[in-house]
Amino acid sequence: MRKRVADLISAALLVLQKNGVIATGDLPIFQVDIPKIPEHGDFATNVALVVAKSARQAPRQVAALIREALNPPPGMLARVDIAGPGFINFFLEDSSWLQVLADIEAAQGKYGDSTMGAGKKVQVEFVSANPTGPLHVGHGRGAALGDALANILAATGHQVEREYYINDVGLQMQTLGLSLFRRAQELQGLSVTFPEHGYQGDYIKTLAQHYLAAHGPVPAGDPDSQTLERCGRFAGEAILAEIQQDLADFGVQFDHWYSETRLFQEQILDKALATLQDQGYLYEADGALWFRATAFGDEKDRVVRRQTGVTTYFASDIAYHWLKFQRGFDQVIDIWGADHHGYVPRLQAVVQALGIAPERLTVLLVQLVSLLREGQPVAMTTRGGTFVTLRQVMDEVGKDVARFIFLSRRADAQLEFDLEVAKKQTSENPVYYVQYAHARLASVFRLAAERGIAWQEADRAVLTRLSQPEEMAILKVLAGYPDVVAAAARHLEPHRITYYLTELAKELHAYYYKHRFLSDDLELTQARLLLVRGIQSVLDHGLRLLGVEAPETM
């Protein structure tokens, strides 16, 4: 609907260009907004304010000329006002909003989808937690965000792949192996000193039991390298399996689980570093190999291969991102915890050094989640092993609640998650508000079916029975949905969907309270069923994007 108005204005501007009122050339960029106040119409544009300067006339005069030049189809516009400093306010005929319901019906459950990303291949890499411990709430937020984002990008026509990068190489795996080894020794009654930087969570003890059951007793003293590696691999694989189960239960399906090990096995690291070498961005100093990150604005150069000859984690990331673009993604989105933000400039530097346009890599930083219980912070230390896992949160409040709360904030704002509030099945908990709207409608349709009410196509004759203010308000909200999805995709902000759904649910609840849908007036009943079916369709679509269930009953 907004687009129809914008097109109308563009056409008018072309007329004015031809008449020499405004400068020829590209059309100026103007906005068509939905005003906050009804008195300002259904849509308002600032076009006259934008054009006024080049036309060398007062904005209100320009606005009048534009209004003259408008050529709307019959029955579309009720009124066009010029207001304030030169805004043009459009008031649509009520009946023109009814088109929305026909649009929804025609889309067959896909109203909100678009083709804006057609032909674009996008990778969303998220969670990617190291397989050294269970997923915690912070990972849950990243999971909800990445998954919803991927859904939204897919709905807007992008070709999307979800990927999880497994850091299963390096020092941390040795530390993990040693932690397991020492716990195993403890279980055998040997007295040990636990490694200072070891993983202390209880889950390591459990894994040690499993290890002993599978491989038999461990020797006293320090492990040889083979044993250490076996312990590390055992723990890593077991933890990864658990992570995969957690994510599956959280409703997240990855297309690829990419192991860092492959970067070595398939010589990808060598190829990527060779590319940088060819470009002249690598140099030797102090016995190490460095990447010249300062050439692209990073604050210092970064080591790629240590004095010891072992490559760094950063080197793996160079290779991994080189590979991502080799794999043909137009857009690569990484979702990281905000504590890694210092890492962004060097990775952006790598992308540029590889000759890739920097805007093709987007790193989304997810701020941390602080967990509360009854308003009191829940203590969390990462290494110490006292943290709340995603599994615990899922068990306690449910997947849908957790996802909805995670998606009810901008990613770059810190999130407070109160377990007690999330557990309440009350209005303090917005997810139920939206789900309830959907279930309520399902209930209405069940009853309508029982009463044998005939369905009706969304044709004009029936729909003109919709004339109540609540009905007009709903139509306008429904008309805005495609814009919301598109904006969520453009800005990579799923929370826009969350807010929209809450608003739509509010419209439904108010409408439901005030008017009966099923009445003796068959035509009116059919019209209202069409309207609320449109609502249900959009609620369902939006909740699906968020990865939250749309229940039939509650």
SS3 category, 425: coil
Under rule CB under 7 A, which residues in 63-92 are in contact with RNA? 83-85, 87, 89
Q: Which stretch binds RNA (CB under 7 A): 164-172, 221-229, 266-274, 386-394?
A: 164-172
Q: Which stretch binds RNA (CB under 7 A): 151-159, 186-194, 249-257, 334-342?
A: 334-342
Going by the DSSP 8-state scheme, the letter that residue 368 receives in this structure is P
Backbone φ/ψ region at 392: left (φ over 0), alpha (ψ -120 to 50), beta: alpha
Cβ-proximal residues to 523 (8 Å cutoff; 6+ apart), any chain: 462, 465
Q: Does 415 bind RNA (CB under 7 A)?
A: yes
Under rule CB under 7 A, which residues in 523-542 are in contact with RNA? none
Question: Is the distance from CB of 538 to CB of 545 less than 8 angstroms?
Answer: no
Q: Does 518 bind RNA (CB under 7 A)?
A: yes
Which is closer to RNA, CB of 220 or CB of 357? 357
Binding mask 166-195 for RNA (x = CB under 7 A): -x-xxxx-----------------------
Question: Is the distance from CB of 9 to CB of 51 less than 8 angstroms?
Answer: no
Nearest approach in angstroms of CB 145 to RNA is: 12
Give the whole-angstrom CA distance, residue 314 versus residue 259. 15
Which is closer to RNA, CB of 231 or CB of 422? 422
Q: Does 288 bind RNA (CB under 7 A)?
A: yes
Q: Does 367 bind RNA (CB under 7 A)?
A: yes
- The 10 Å Cβ neighbour count of residue 378 is 15
Applying CB under 7 A, the site for RNA has a residue count of 90
Please select the residue that binds RNA; options are 9, 12, 21, 40, rule is CB under 7 A.
Answer: 40
Please select the residue that binds RNA; options are 57, 123, 128, 130, rule is CB under 7 A.
Answer: 130
Question: Is the distance from CB of 139 to CB of 177 less than 8 angstroms?
Answer: no
SS3 category, 123: strand
Cβ-proximal residues to 50 (8 Å cutoff; 6+ apart), any chain: 28, 29, 30
Q: Does 49 bind RNA (CB under 7 A)?
A: yes
Nearest approach in angstroms of CB 58 to RNA is: 10
The tokens for 171 are 């020092």
Q: Which stretch binds RNA (CB under 7 A): 18-26, 200-208, 235-243, 298-306?
A: 298-306
Q: Which stretch binds RNA (CB under 7 A): 9-17, 150-158, 307-315, 351-359?
A: 307-315
Quickly list DSSP for 447-510.
HHHHTTPPP----HHHHTT--SHHHHHHHHHHHTHHHHHHHHHHHT-THHHHHHHHHHHHHHHH
Residues recorded for the chain:
554
Q: Does 433 bind RNA (CB under 7 A)?
A: yes
Please select the residue that binds RNA; options are 391, 493, 526, 550, rule is CB under 7 A.
Answer: 493
Q: Does 487 bind RNA (CB under 7 A)?
A: yes
Q: Does 506 bind RNA (CB under 7 A)?
A: yes
Nearest approach in angstroms of CB 213 to RNA is: 28
Q: Which stretch binds RNA (CB under 7 A): 16-24, 64-72, 182-190, 335-343?
A: 335-343
Nearest approach in angstroms of CB 250 to RNA is: 20
List beta partners, residue 508: none
Q: Which stretch binds RNA (CB under 7 A): 8-16, 227-235, 266-274, 296-304?
A: 296-304
531-535, Cβ contacts within 8 angstroms, sequence gap of 24 or more? 531/101, 531/466, 531/471, 531/474, 531/475, 532/441, 532/444, 532/508, 533/104, 533/441, 533/445, 534/100, 534/101, 534/104, 534/105, 534/111, 534/478, 535/437, 535/441, 535/474, 535/478, 535/504, 535/507, 535/508
Under rule CB under 7 A, which residues in 195-254 are in contact with RNA? none
Please select the residue that binds RNA; options are 159, 392, 408, 468, rule is CB under 7 A.
Answer: 408
